[in-house]
Protein backbone atom coordinates (compact mmCIF):
# COMPACT_ATOMS: atom_id res chain seq x y z
CA UNK A 1 0.00 0.00 0.00
CA UNK A 2 1.51 3.36 -1.06
CA UNK A 3 1.28 6.52 1.04
CA UNK A 4 -0.08 9.66 -0.65
CA UNK A 5 2.82 11.83 0.44
CA UNK A 6 6.01 11.56 2.45
CA UNK A 7 8.18 14.27 3.93
CA UNK A 8 11.26 14.32 6.16
CA UNK A 9 13.00 17.44 7.39
CA UNK A 10 15.66 18.30 10.01
CA UNK A 11 15.62 21.61 11.82
CA UNK A 12 16.83 23.42 14.95
CA UNK A 13 14.10 23.98 17.52
CA UNK A 14 14.00 27.39 19.10
CA UNK A 15 14.60 27.15 22.87
CA UNK A 16 12.80 29.27 25.44
CA UNK A 17 15.94 31.17 26.41
CA UNK A 18 16.75 32.11 22.78
CA UNK A 19 20.18 30.47 23.08
CA UNK A 20 22.30 29.98 19.95
CA UNK A 21 22.72 26.31 20.90
CA UNK A 22 19.55 24.51 19.86
CA UNK A 23 18.24 20.94 19.74
CA UNK A 24 18.26 19.17 16.38
CA UNK A 25 14.78 17.83 15.60
CA UNK A 26 13.32 15.81 12.73
CA UNK A 27 9.77 15.76 11.41
CA UNK A 28 8.10 12.95 9.44
CA UNK A 29 4.95 13.86 7.51
CA UNK A 30 2.73 11.32 5.75
CA UNK A 31 -0.61 12.22 4.17
CA UNK A 32 -0.40 15.61 5.86
CA UNK A 33 0.00 14.17 9.37
CA UNK A 34 3.28 15.29 11.01
CA UNK A 35 5.18 13.61 13.83
CA UNK A 36 8.36 15.12 15.24
CA UNK A 37 11.01 14.11 17.76
CA UNK A 38 14.41 15.19 19.02
CA UNK A 39 17.57 13.57 17.67
CA UNK A 40 19.11 14.18 21.11
CA UNK A 41 21.78 16.27 19.42
CA UNK A 42 22.45 20.00 19.83
CA UNK A 43 24.00 22.50 17.42
CA UNK A 44 24.95 26.12 17.00
CA UNK A 45 22.42 27.99 14.83
CA UNK A 46 25.23 30.01 13.25
CA UNK A 47 26.77 26.80 11.88
CA UNK A 48 23.52 25.40 10.44
CA UNK A 49 22.18 25.59 6.88
CA UNK A 50 18.40 25.11 6.98
CA UNK A 51 18.18 24.87 3.19
CA UNK A 52 20.46 21.80 3.22
CA UNK A 53 19.23 20.73 6.67
CA UNK A 54 22.81 20.02 7.68
CA UNK A 55 25.65 21.47 9.70
CA UNK A 56 28.12 23.68 7.84
CA UNK A 57 31.87 23.60 7.99
CA UNK A 58 34.61 20.99 7.71
CA UNK A 59 35.33 20.46 11.37
CA UNK A 60 35.01 16.99 12.84
CA UNK A 61 31.97 17.87 14.96
CA UNK A 62 30.09 19.06 11.83
CA UNK A 63 31.09 15.95 9.90
CA UNK A 64 30.00 13.75 12.79
CA UNK A 65 26.56 15.39 13.05
CA UNK A 66 25.98 15.23 9.30
CA UNK A 67 26.97 11.57 9.22
CA UNK A 68 24.48 10.87 12.02
CA UNK A 69 21.69 12.72 10.17
CA UNK A 70 22.47 10.85 6.94
CA UNK A 71 22.32 7.52 8.81
CA UNK A 72 19.01 8.47 10.43
CA UNK A 73 17.61 9.42 7.01
CA UNK A 74 18.61 6.01 5.62
CA UNK A 75 17.07 4.26 8.62
CA UNK A 76 13.75 6.09 8.21
CA UNK A 77 13.56 5.26 4.50
CA UNK A 78 14.42 1.61 5.23
CA UNK A 79 11.64 1.40 7.83
CA UNK A 80 9.16 2.95 5.39
CA UNK A 81 10.16 0.45 2.70
CA UNK A 82 9.86 -2.54 5.05
CA UNK A 83 6.38 -1.47 6.11
CA UNK A 84 5.40 -1.11 2.44
CA UNK A 85 6.71 -4.61 1.68
CA UNK A 86 4.71 -6.03 4.59
CA UNK A 87 1.51 -4.77 2.97
CA UNK A 88 0.51 -2.74 6.03
CA UNK A 89 -0.47 0.94 5.92
CA UNK A 90 2.38 3.42 6.34
CA UNK A 91 1.80 6.21 8.84
CA UNK A 92 4.05 8.86 10.33
CA UNK A 93 3.26 7.54 13.82
CA UNK A 94 4.23 3.98 12.90
CA UNK A 95 7.57 5.07 11.40
CA UNK A 96 8.26 7.30 14.40
CA UNK A 97 7.51 4.42 16.80
CA UNK A 98 10.02 2.22 14.98
CA UNK A 99 12.68 4.95 14.94
CA UNK A 100 12.26 5.67 18.63
CA UNK A 101 12.15 1.97 19.62
CA UNK A 102 8.56 2.12 20.84
CA UNK A 103 7.21 -0.64 18.61
CA UNK A 104 6.83 -3.44 21.19
CA UNK A 105 8.40 -4.69 24.39
CA UNK A 106 11.71 -6.45 23.92
CA UNK A 107 10.22 -9.81 22.99
CA UNK A 108 12.62 -12.73 22.81
CA UNK A 109 12.92 -15.47 20.22
CA UNK A 110 12.53 -18.59 22.37
CA UNK A 111 9.65 -17.06 24.33
CA UNK A 112 7.70 -16.45 21.12
CA UNK A 113 8.74 -19.86 19.76
CA UNK A 114 7.29 -21.52 22.88
CA UNK A 115 4.03 -19.56 22.51
CA UNK A 116 3.75 -20.89 18.94
CA UNK A 117 4.39 -24.47 20.06
CA UNK A 118 1.86 -24.18 22.90
CA UNK A 119 -0.78 -22.98 20.44
CA UNK A 120 0.13 -25.81 18.08
CA UNK A 121 -0.21 -28.35 20.90
CA UNK A 122 -3.74 -27.10 21.61
CA UNK A 123 -4.66 -27.65 17.94
CA UNK A 124 -3.54 -31.28 17.71
CA UNK A 125 -6.41 -33.24 16.23
CA UNK A 126 -7.87 -30.07 14.75
CA UNK A 127 -5.82 -29.70 11.60
CA UNK A 128 -2.44 -30.55 13.16
CA UNK A 129 -0.72 -33.73 14.32
CA UNK A 130 1.67 -34.59 17.10
CA UNK A 131 4.38 -35.14 14.47
CA UNK A 132 4.14 -31.49 13.43
CA UNK A 133 4.52 -30.35 17.03
CA UNK A 134 7.52 -32.65 17.47
CA UNK A 135 9.26 -31.08 14.46
CA UNK A 136 8.83 -27.58 15.90
CA UNK A 137 9.94 -28.70 19.37
CA UNK A 138 13.12 -30.16 17.87
CA UNK A 139 13.73 -26.96 15.90
CA UNK A 140 13.23 -24.84 19.04
CA UNK A 141 15.76 -27.01 20.89
CA UNK A 142 18.27 -26.49 18.07
CA UNK A 143 17.76 -22.71 18.16
CA UNK A 144 18.16 -22.74 21.95
CA UNK A 145 21.38 -24.77 21.74
CA UNK A 146 22.73 -22.45 19.05
CA UNK A 147 22.07 -19.32 21.14
CA UNK A 148 23.92 -20.87 24.09
CA UNK A 149 26.74 -22.05 21.81
CA UNK A 150 27.22 -18.75 19.93
CA UNK A 151 26.13 -16.06 22.41
CA UNK A 152 26.38 -17.85 25.77
CA UNK A 153 22.83 -16.69 26.50
CA UNK A 154 19.51 -18.28 27.38
CA UNK A 155 17.54 -16.32 24.79
CA UNK A 156 17.89 -13.72 22.03
CA UNK A 157 15.92 -10.56 21.33
CA UNK A 158 13.94 -10.46 18.09
CA UNK A 159 15.10 -6.91 17.47
CA UNK A 160 18.67 -8.19 17.16
CA UNK A 161 17.90 -10.88 14.57
CA UNK A 162 19.70 -10.36 11.29
CA UNK A 163 21.05 -12.26 8.30
CA UNK A 164 24.26 -13.05 10.18
CA UNK A 165 22.25 -14.89 12.86
CA UNK A 166 20.49 -16.97 10.20
CA UNK A 167 23.72 -17.87 8.40
CA UNK A 168 25.48 -18.73 11.65
CA UNK A 169 22.55 -20.93 12.66
CA UNK A 170 22.78 -22.73 9.30
CA UNK A 171 26.52 -23.29 9.79
CA UNK A 172 25.91 -24.55 13.35
CA UNK A 173 23.38 -27.13 12.12
CA UNK A 174 25.75 -28.37 9.43
CA UNK A 175 28.98 -28.38 11.45
CA UNK A 176 28.11 -28.93 15.11
CA UNK A 177 24.84 -30.87 14.76
CA UNK A 178 26.10 -32.72 11.63
CA UNK A 179 22.77 -32.25 9.83
CA UNK A 180 22.50 -33.00 6.11
CA UNK A 181 21.71 -30.22 3.64
CA UNK A 182 17.99 -31.02 3.39
CA UNK A 183 17.58 -31.55 7.14
CA UNK A 184 19.33 -28.24 7.82
CA UNK A 185 16.99 -26.39 5.45
CA UNK A 186 13.94 -28.03 7.05
CA UNK A 187 14.95 -26.73 10.48
CA UNK A 188 15.63 -23.29 9.04
CA UNK A 189 12.22 -23.32 7.31
CA UNK A 190 10.56 -24.12 10.64
CA UNK A 191 12.44 -21.28 12.33
CA UNK A 192 11.49 -18.93 9.50
CA UNK A 193 7.80 -19.58 10.25
CA UNK A 194 8.36 -18.22 13.74
CA UNK A 195 10.10 -15.15 12.32
CA UNK A 196 7.27 -14.52 9.82
CA UNK A 197 4.83 -14.83 12.70
CA UNK A 198 6.82 -12.16 14.58
CA UNK A 199 6.71 -9.88 11.53
CA UNK A 200 2.93 -10.35 11.26
CA UNK A 201 2.59 -9.44 14.94
CA UNK A 202 4.81 -6.39 14.32
CA UNK A 203 7.35 -7.61 16.85
CA UNK A 204 9.97 -6.89 14.21
CA UNK A 205 9.72 -5.11 10.90
CA UNK A 206 12.70 -6.41 8.93
CA UNK A 207 12.86 -9.98 7.67
CA UNK A 208 16.33 -11.43 8.46
CA UNK A 209 15.66 -14.20 5.90
CA UNK A 210 15.17 -11.71 3.06
CA UNK A 211 18.58 -12.37 1.48
CA UNK A 212 19.04 -15.93 2.69
CA UNK A 213 19.34 -18.52 -0.06
CA UNK A 214 19.18 -22.28 0.35
CA UNK A 215 18.67 -25.05 -2.15
CA UNK A 216 17.58 -28.55 -1.26
CA UNK A 217 19.46 -31.52 -2.67
CA UNK A 218 17.23 -33.54 -4.94
CA UNK A 219 17.12 -37.10 -3.65
CA UNK A 220 15.75 -39.94 -5.75
CA UNK A 221 13.82 -42.17 -3.37
CA UNK A 222 13.54 -45.43 -5.24
CA UNK A 223 10.84 -48.03 -4.72
CA UNK A 224 11.57 -51.73 -4.61
CA UNK A 225 11.30 -53.58 -7.92
CA UNK A 226 8.72 -56.23 -8.82
CA UNK A 227 11.38 -58.91 -8.39
CA UNK A 228 12.36 -57.62 -4.94
CA UNK A 229 8.71 -57.38 -3.92
CA UNK A 230 8.16 -61.02 -4.93
CA UNK A 231 11.26 -62.04 -2.94
CA UNK A 232 9.96 -60.17 0.08
CA UNK A 233 6.52 -61.76 -0.14
CA UNK A 234 7.84 -65.33 -0.35
CA UNK A 235 10.71 -65.08 2.15
CA UNK A 236 10.26 -67.28 5.20
CA UNK A 237 11.13 -65.63 8.52
CA UNK A 238 11.71 -67.62 11.70
CA UNK A 239 10.94 -64.60 13.90
CA UNK A 240 7.25 -63.69 14.20
CA UNK A 241 7.76 -59.94 14.57
CA UNK A 242 9.65 -59.84 11.27
CA UNK A 243 6.87 -61.75 9.52
CA UNK A 244 4.31 -59.28 10.87
CA UNK A 245 6.34 -56.24 9.79
CA UNK A 246 6.93 -57.79 6.36
CA UNK A 247 3.18 -58.40 5.93
CA UNK A 248 2.32 -54.84 6.90
CA UNK A 249 4.96 -53.49 4.52
CA UNK A 250 3.60 -55.67 1.71
CA UNK A 251 0.06 -54.51 2.54
CA UNK A 252 1.27 -50.92 2.12
CA UNK A 253 2.88 -51.87 -1.19
CA UNK A 254 -0.51 -53.04 -2.51
CA UNK A 255 -2.58 -50.19 -1.06
CA UNK A 256 -0.27 -47.16 -1.01
CA UNK A 257 -1.23 -46.34 2.58
CA UNK A 258 1.19 -44.20 4.57
CA UNK A 259 2.41 -45.59 7.90
CA UNK A 260 -0.04 -43.63 10.07
CA UNK A 261 -3.00 -44.55 7.85
CA UNK A 262 -2.09 -48.25 8.01
CA UNK A 263 -1.67 -47.94 11.79
CA UNK A 264 -5.14 -46.41 12.20
CA UNK A 265 -6.96 -48.57 9.64
CA UNK A 266 -10.23 -49.95 11.05
CA UNK A 267 -13.12 -52.01 9.74
CA UNK A 268 -15.09 -48.76 9.32
CA UNK A 269 -12.62 -47.78 6.57
CA UNK A 270 -13.49 -50.86 4.46
CA UNK A 271 -16.54 -50.18 2.30
CA UNK A 272 -18.08 -51.50 -0.89
CA UNK A 273 -16.72 -49.63 -3.88
CA UNK A 274 -18.49 -48.72 -7.11
CA UNK A 275 -17.68 -52.18 -8.46
CA UNK A 276 -19.22 -53.93 -5.46
CA UNK A 277 -15.81 -55.08 -4.18
CA UNK A 278 -14.18 -54.02 -0.89
CA UNK A 279 -12.32 -50.69 -1.02
CA UNK A 280 -10.43 -48.62 1.54
CA UNK A 281 -12.31 -45.32 1.78
CA UNK A 282 -10.89 -43.13 4.51
CA UNK A 283 -9.45 -39.71 5.34
CA UNK A 284 -5.67 -39.43 5.14
CA UNK A 285 -4.36 -38.03 8.41
CA UNK A 286 -1.58 -35.98 6.82
CA UNK A 287 -3.69 -34.09 4.27
CA UNK A 288 -7.32 -34.79 5.29
CA UNK A 289 -7.93 -35.85 1.69
CA UNK A 290 -10.08 -38.90 1.00
CA UNK A 291 -8.28 -42.06 -0.09
CA UNK A 292 -10.32 -44.45 -2.24
CA UNK A 293 -8.36 -47.64 -2.87
CA UNK A 294 -9.68 -50.92 -4.31
CA UNK A 295 -8.29 -53.81 -2.25
CA UNK A 296 -6.18 -56.18 -4.30
CA UNK A 297 -6.20 -59.92 -3.43
CA UNK A 298 -2.72 -59.63 -1.84
CA UNK A 299 -3.96 -56.95 0.55
CA UNK A 300 -7.20 -58.79 1.35
CA UNK A 301 -5.24 -61.90 2.22
CA UNK A 302 -3.15 -59.98 4.76
CA UNK A 303 -6.23 -58.40 6.35
CA UNK A 304 -7.79 -61.85 6.72
CA UNK A 305 -4.58 -63.21 8.27
CA UNK A 306 -4.63 -60.68 11.12
CA UNK A 307 -8.38 -60.44 11.64
CA UNK A 308 -8.21 -62.18 15.04
CA UNK A 309 -4.79 -60.94 16.15
CA UNK A 310 -4.78 -59.91 19.82
CA UNK A 311 -3.26 -56.48 19.13
CA UNK A 312 -5.91 -55.76 16.49
CA UNK A 313 -8.72 -56.79 18.82
CA UNK A 314 -7.33 -54.69 21.68
CA UNK A 315 -6.83 -51.54 19.56
CA UNK A 316 -9.83 -52.03 17.28
CA UNK A 317 -7.64 -51.89 14.18
CA UNK A 318 -7.13 -54.23 11.23
CA UNK A 319 -3.35 -54.55 11.41
CA UNK A 320 -0.95 -55.07 14.37
CA UNK A 321 1.30 -52.17 13.35
CA UNK A 322 4.28 -51.36 15.59
CA UNK A 323 5.56 -47.84 16.25
CA UNK A 324 7.16 -46.19 13.23
CA UNK A 325 10.59 -46.37 14.89
CA UNK A 326 10.27 -50.10 15.52
CA UNK A 327 8.84 -50.71 12.05
CA UNK A 328 11.83 -49.05 10.39
CA UNK A 329 14.25 -50.84 12.71
CA UNK A 330 12.75 -54.25 11.90
CA UNK A 331 12.63 -53.41 8.19
CA UNK A 332 16.40 -52.94 8.27
CA UNK A 333 16.72 -56.49 9.60
CA UNK A 334 14.36 -57.75 6.90
CA UNK A 335 16.36 -56.06 4.14
CA UNK A 336 19.53 -57.74 5.40
CA UNK A 337 17.91 -61.17 5.59
CA UNK A 338 16.50 -60.80 2.08
CA UNK A 339 19.92 -59.82 0.74
CA UNK A 340 18.85 -56.33 -0.35
CA UNK A 341 21.64 -53.81 -0.88
CA UNK A 342 19.45 -50.97 0.39
CA UNK A 343 17.54 -50.12 3.55
CA UNK A 344 13.79 -50.59 3.73
CA UNK A 345 11.54 -48.05 5.45
CA UNK A 346 7.79 -47.65 5.78
CA UNK A 347 7.50 -44.86 3.20
CA UNK A 348 9.24 -46.97 0.57
CA UNK A 349 6.13 -49.15 0.49
CA UNK A 350 3.99 -46.21 -0.59
CA UNK A 351 6.46 -45.38 -3.34
CA UNK A 352 6.45 -49.03 -4.42
CA UNK A 353 2.68 -48.89 -4.79
CA UNK A 354 2.89 -45.64 -6.77
CA UNK A 355 5.60 -46.93 -9.11
CA UNK A 356 6.14 -50.69 -9.21
CA UNK A 357 2.56 -51.84 -8.58
CA UNK A 358 0.58 -49.21 -10.48
CA UNK A 359 2.47 -47.00 -12.94
CA UNK A 360 4.66 -49.85 -14.15
CA UNK A 361 1.51 -51.85 -14.85
CA UNK A 362 0.16 -49.09 -17.08
CA UNK A 363 -2.28 -47.61 -14.58
CA UNK A 364 -2.74 -43.98 -15.72
CA UNK A 365 -0.99 -41.41 -13.55
CA UNK A 366 -4.21 -39.48 -12.92
CA UNK A 367 -5.71 -42.67 -11.45
CA UNK A 368 -2.61 -43.24 -9.30
CA UNK A 369 -2.96 -39.65 -8.05
CA UNK A 370 -6.43 -40.45 -6.74
CA UNK A 371 -5.31 -43.74 -5.21
CA UNK A 372 -2.48 -42.04 -3.32
CA UNK A 373 -4.69 -39.17 -2.22
CA UNK A 374 -2.43 -36.56 -3.79
CA UNK A 375 -3.73 -33.05 -4.40
CA UNK A 376 -1.95 -32.74 -7.77
CA UNK A 377 -0.37 -34.91 -10.46
CA UNK A 378 2.92 -33.11 -9.79
CA UNK A 379 3.11 -34.86 -6.41
CA UNK A 380 2.49 -38.20 -8.09
CA UNK A 381 5.20 -37.59 -10.70
CA UNK A 382 7.80 -37.85 -7.92
CA UNK A 383 6.72 -41.49 -7.55
CA UNK A 384 6.94 -42.24 -11.27
CA UNK A 385 10.32 -43.98 -11.24
CA UNK A 386 10.31 -46.28 -14.21
CA UNK A 387 11.88 -49.72 -13.93
CA UNK A 388 14.32 -51.02 -16.53
CA UNK A 389 11.80 -53.71 -17.50
CA UNK A 390 9.22 -51.04 -18.29
CA UNK A 391 11.72 -49.09 -20.36
CA UNK A 392 12.64 -52.24 -22.27
CA UNK A 393 9.00 -53.10 -22.89
CA UNK A 394 8.11 -49.65 -24.15
CA UNK A 395 11.18 -49.43 -26.40
CA UNK A 396 10.35 -52.85 -27.84
CA UNK A 397 6.85 -51.63 -28.70
CA UNK A 398 8.31 -48.47 -30.22
CA UNK A 399 10.71 -50.53 -32.32
CA UNK A 400 7.83 -52.63 -33.67
CA UNK A 401 5.72 -49.57 -34.43
CA UNK A 402 8.59 -47.94 -36.33
CA UNK A 403 9.18 -51.10 -38.35
CA UNK A 404 5.56 -51.22 -39.48
CA UNK A 405 6.51 -48.78 -42.22
CA UNK A 406 9.43 -50.97 -43.34
CA UNK A 407 8.55 -52.49 -46.78
CA UNK A 408 10.58 -55.60 -45.87
CA UNK A 409 8.04 -56.60 -43.20
CA UNK A 410 5.75 -59.32 -44.54
CA UNK A 411 1.93 -58.87 -44.54
CA UNK A 412 1.67 -61.79 -42.06
CA UNK A 413 4.05 -60.03 -39.63
CA UNK A 414 2.15 -56.79 -40.03
CA UNK A 415 -1.10 -58.56 -39.16
CA UNK A 416 0.52 -60.08 -36.07
CA UNK A 417 1.82 -56.71 -34.96
CA UNK A 418 -1.59 -55.12 -35.48
CA UNK A 419 -3.18 -57.83 -33.33
CA UNK A 420 -0.50 -57.27 -30.67
CA UNK A 421 -1.23 -53.55 -30.71
CA UNK A 422 -4.97 -54.21 -30.22
CA UNK A 423 -4.26 -56.59 -27.35
CA UNK A 424 -2.09 -53.99 -25.64
CA UNK A 425 -4.85 -51.40 -25.95
CA UNK A 426 -7.38 -53.85 -24.48
CA UNK A 427 -5.07 -54.55 -21.52
CA UNK A 428 -4.72 -50.83 -20.90
CA UNK A 429 -8.49 -50.41 -20.98
CA UNK A 430 -8.98 -53.25 -18.51
CA UNK A 431 -6.43 -51.76 -16.12
CA UNK A 432 -8.00 -48.32 -16.40
CA UNK A 433 -11.59 -49.46 -15.93
CA UNK A 434 -11.16 -52.18 -13.31
CA UNK A 435 -8.52 -50.54 -11.08
CA UNK A 436 -6.13 -53.48 -10.85
CA UNK A 437 -8.45 -56.43 -11.37
CA UNK A 438 -5.53 -58.43 -12.67
- Residue 56 CB burial class (10 angstroms; 0-12, 13-18, ≥19): middle
Residues 333 and 246 sit within 8 Å (Cβ to Cβ): no
Above 60 in pLDDT, residue 360?
A: yes
Phi then psi for 284, rounded to 5 degrees?
Answer: -70, 130
Position 410 confidence tier, pLDDT thresholds 50, 70, 90: low
**What is the per-residue pLDDT for 1?**
47
Give one DSSP letter per residue of 298-333, joined into a string: HHHHHHHHTTT-HHHHHHT-SS----HHHHHHHHHH
**What is the per-residue pLDDT for 292?**
84
Residues 408 and 328 sit within 8 Å (Cβ to Cβ): no
**What is the per-residue pLDDT for 189?**
95
Residues 163 and 188 sit within 8 Å (Cβ to Cβ): no
Find residue 159's DSSP bridge partners.
Answer: none
Residues 26 and 7 sit within 8 Å (Cβ to Cβ): no
Position 373 confidence tier, pLDDT thresholds 50, 70, 90: confident
Q: Any idea which of 16-20, 153-157, 401-405 has the lowest mean pLDDT?
A: 401-405
Q: Rounded to whole angstroms, how far apart are CA atoms 96 and 134?
A: 40
Share of the chain above pLDDT 70, in %: 84
| C-alpha closest to that of 144 among 201, 189, 191, 185 | 191
Phi then psi for 261, rounded to 5 degrees?
Answer: -70, -35
Q: Any idea which of 195-204, 246-255, 338-347, 364-373 has the lowest mean pLDDT?
A: 364-373
**What is the per-residue pLDDT for 78?**
87
**What is the per-residue pLDDT for 99?**
85
pLDDT in tens, 260-290: 899 999 999 999 888 889 999 887 766 666 7
Average pLDDT for residues 196-224, to the nearest whole number? 85
Residues 375 and 291 sit within 8 Å (Cβ to Cβ): no
**What is the per-residue pLDDT for 428?**
55
The larger pLDDT score, comparing residue 402 to residue 66, is at 66
Q: Any idea which of 78-87, 224-233, 317-326, 329-338 has the lowest mean pLDDT?
A: 78-87
- Residue 274 CB burial class (10 angstroms; 0-12, 13-18, ≥19): exposed
**What is the per-residue pLDDT for 88?**
75
pLDDT in tens, 48-93: 999 999 999 999 999 999 999 999 999 999 888 878 876 678 888 8
pLDDT in tens, 215-232: 888 777 788 999 999 999
Q: Rounded to whole angstroms, how far apart are CA atoms 283 and 373?
A: 9
Q: Rounded to whole angstroms, how far apart are CA atoms 372 and 350?
A: 8
| C-alpha closest to that of 255 among 294, 283, 288 | 294
Instruction: Provide long-range contacts, Cβ within 8 A and 24+ apart, for 365-373.
Output: 367/432, 367/435, 370/292, 371/256, 371/291, 371/292, 371/293, 371/435, 372/256, 372/291, 373/284, 373/287, 373/289, 373/290, 373/291
Above 80 in pLDDT, residue 320?
A: yes
Angle, CA 315 vertex, CA 310 and CA 321 arms, to 5°: 75
Q: How far is CA 383 from CA 106, 194, 237, 355, 387, in A?
A: 47, 32, 29, 6, 12
**What is the per-residue pLDDT for 202?**
78
Above 90 in pLDDT, residue 299?
A: yes
Above 80 in pLDDT, residue 13?
A: yes
34 contact partners, CB below 8 Å, separation of at least 6: 7, 27, 28, 92
**What is the per-residue pLDDT for 438?**
40
Coil, strand, or helix at residue 258?
A: coil
Q: Any idea which of 288-302, 336-350, 359-373 has the lowest mean pLDDT?
A: 359-373
Above 50 in pLDDT, residue 435?
A: no
Average pLDDT of the chain, as a whole number = 85
| Element of type H or E holding 48 | strand 48-49
Average pLDDT for residues 32-55, to the nearest whole number? 93
Residues 166 and 188 sit within 8 Å (Cβ to Cβ): yes
pLDDT in tens, 92-137: 888 888 888 776 567 899 999 999 999 999 998 787 888 889 999 9
E-assigned strand segments in 212-313? 270-272, 278-283, 290-294
Amino acid sequence: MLENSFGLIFYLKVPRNESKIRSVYFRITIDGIPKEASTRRQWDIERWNQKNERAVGTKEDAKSLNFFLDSLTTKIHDIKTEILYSGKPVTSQKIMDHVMGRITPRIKVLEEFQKHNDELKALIGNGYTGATLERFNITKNHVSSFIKFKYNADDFEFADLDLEFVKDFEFYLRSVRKCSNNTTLKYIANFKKIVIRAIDKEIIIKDPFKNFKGRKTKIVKKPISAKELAELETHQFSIERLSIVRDIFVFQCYTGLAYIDAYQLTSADIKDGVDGNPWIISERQKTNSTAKIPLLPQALKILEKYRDHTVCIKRGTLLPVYSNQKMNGYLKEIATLCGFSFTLNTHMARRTFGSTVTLNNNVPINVVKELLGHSSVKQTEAYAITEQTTIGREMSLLNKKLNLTNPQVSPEDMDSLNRLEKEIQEIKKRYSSSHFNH
